[in-house]
Amino acid sequence: MGFEISRSPSGIVLNQQKYCLDLFSNSGLLACKPASSPMEPSYPLSESEGSLLLNPGEYRRLIGRLLYLTHARLDISFVVHKLIQFISNPREPHMTIGLRVL
């Protein structure tokens, strides 16, 4: 399921480090610098702004993978659920923010 389970004297730890590394590798973002936040707070998301994606399946796969990642990373939950609103008609700005979440 992508979770790694470690037991220590202080308790049990769940993480998705391997899943995240595979996600970075598949997206070609393995060597990218981290962002300070998953999304710029002032960045507006619109249904009509930007050009339509030529391959919306790529966006849908990315959002699906990010949605699975929200089980362990609650800090990206708001942005991922915001991006899900545009899954039927994704545009370039939506994909840009999805990649920023990574």
**Domain coordinates in residue numbering, the chain:** 4-101
Instruction: Note whether 99 and 30 are within 8 A (CB).
Output: no
Distance CA 76, CA 63 (A): 11
Instruction: Note whether 77 and 99 are within 8 A (CB).
Output: no
DSSP 52: B
Helices 77-84 and 56-69, axial angle in degrees (round to 10): 150
In whole angstroms, how far apart are CA 13 and each of 23, 87, 102? Answer: 21, 32, 22
pLDDT at 20: 84
pLDDT at 89: 93
Question: What pLDDT digit, counting tens, does each position of 10-67 carry?
Answer: 999 888 888 888 888 888 888 888 888 888 777 778 888 989 999 999 999 999 999 9
